Structure 1
């Protein structure tokens, strides 16, 4: 009995010296381990559908765009689009991180989807960034930006009346990927919108495996609505709220199909997309 106890102690001590995170130590010592995940994406990438997929898991707390609310609506807001609205003190980066790392329901998994552009770079070197598993969702700029432009020309539905290229966030997404790989020494899974829509089960199985989670059949079809989010953005999520599963969307790839006003923005985003696409999970 004594030798068995000593052996386990030595194993734990070895794990603490060989591991880079507290989570890894917990795994090697046989203790329960919480999984905290952030999915970084660009706008109009199908990330809302993936959030609904994760909502089907009984072990998971889903945070829906926590940093978006801070970026646009909180006292620390960085973007001028909604400065006509008073700053809401409930939206701070510190509070959002706490909800992700310490879900109030005690769930073993918490999953947040957000856009890299909404997290200021001063937060990239925070201890919170090192405590989560990072992942990425990409989409070809042409259909993504065409979809965003369409939403920005529908003020009755979305409240938006102009397209802002910087909000798409391609350059920040690739910068975030490079930071996570080079500074945090993670190998984050990257999934492509088209792959996810065409082969949802295969992509999810691979994606979850890279995150250390088991596949759950319920993730392929959903009934749970999106988590609460500010009402001002309700028009952006009409399709996501009507959906019940992953399905291929109309792909607009020929340059003649994209409105001329976003052609330059698409061209500027292509290098970032191509770099991330070279790292995407292969089915």
Structure 2
């Protein structure tokens, strides 16, 4: 069996990570996996997310078991794309990332926060996952790997991303059918309503947003980590 290329997307919330997962799902050579460490994260933190009981019931709760028996398992296709949220790496040894390619998906903090507070009205820095993204990027650099970070501009960026990952660009990655997809996690009804309406990457339009005064300290922290990660941008 040919060696498997494991691509690990380390994202934060509201960063169109699900759309990027759908994009890779269009490739005939790729299997995609939606947040394999989500149940582990819910169990360790005790957080009461929408659909918590369902997630814990259907997904392996032990993060190390997920890594050993799922992430590092054999896969039927030559490429496997794991969508991770970086804050889910609690009590997880990230050494397995060195076996694959790691990609950080980031979004301008004011745009991210304005969307995130619709579901989480009082977010913390930990919930944005930016600090965790940077800590993992620092760790990768210490291991001799240069991280990749992505600010999505569909075709041009996807072409360069595929080249950086050592795979060919497939135009099918720019489009998909609307609606739920078989690779969705069981939490999709609570979080993916917007992406289920999409059929591909639209033209990016920066929204004019105002972040409340109470969230300005958090926004400043997010901007700091965002700028650090942006230095690795494709």
TM-score of Structure 1 vs Structure 2, range by shorter chain:
0.7 to 0.9
8 Å CA contact 2:162–2:168 kept in 1: the answer is yes
Matches within 5 A, 1:53-202: 53-72=23-42, 74=43, 77-82=44-49, 85=53, 87-88=56-57, 90-97=60-67, 98-104=69-75, 106-124=76-94, 126=95, 128-152=96-120, 162-183=122-143, 185-192=144-151, 196=152, 199-202=153-156
**CA deviation digits over 1:180-203, x for unaligned, max 9?**
1222x22232111xxx2xx31110
Give 4+ residue runs of structure 1 displaced > 6 Å after superposition. Answer: none
| 3-state SS, counterpart of residue 151 of structure 1 | coil
CA apart distance, 1:272: 0.6
8 Å CA contact 1:208–1:215 kept in 2: the answer is yes
The structure-2 alpha-carbon separation of the partners of 1:133 and 1:60, relative to structure 1 and needing over 3 Å to count, comes to same
Rounded Cα–Cα distance in structure 1 between residues aligned with 2:169 and 2:223:
32
Rounded Cα–Cα distance in structure 2 between residues aligned with 1:259 and 1:62:
37
Which residue pairs with 2:229 in the alignment? 276
Structure with larger Rg: 1
**15, 22, 40: which one aligns with 1:45:** 15
- Give the structure with the higher percent helix: 1
| 3-state SS, counterpart of residue 66 of structure 2 | helix
8 Å CA contact 2:21–2:32 kept in 1: the answer is yes
CA apart distance, 1:263: 1.8
CA apart distance, 1:230: 2.5
| 3-state SS, counterpart of residue 192 of structure 2 | helix
Aligned length: 228
Which residue pairs with 1:222 in the alignment? 176
The structure-2 alpha-carbon separation of the partners of 1:103 and 1:146, relative to structure 1 and needing over 3 Å to count, comes to farther
Which residue pairs with 1:261 in the alignment? 214
8 Å CA contact 1:103–1:110 kept in 2: the answer is no
The structure-2 alpha-carbon separation of the partners of 1:129 and 1:274, relative to structure 1 and needing over 3 Å to count, comes to same
Rounded Cα–Cα distance in structure 1 between residues aligned with 2:224 and 2:207:
18
Q: Unaligned regions of 5+ residues in structure 1, if any?
A: 1-30, 154-161
Q: Unaligned regions of 5+ residues in structure 2, if any?
A: none
**CA deviation digits over 1:25-73, x for unaligned, max 9?**
xxxxxx833101101111111111100000101111101111123201x
**CA deviation digits over 1:73-121, x for unaligned, max 9?**
x4xx2343359849547332134323223255x1111001111111125
Rounded Cα–Cα distance in structure 1 between residues aligned with 2:211 and 2:205:
13
TM-score of the pair, normalised by structure 1: 0.73
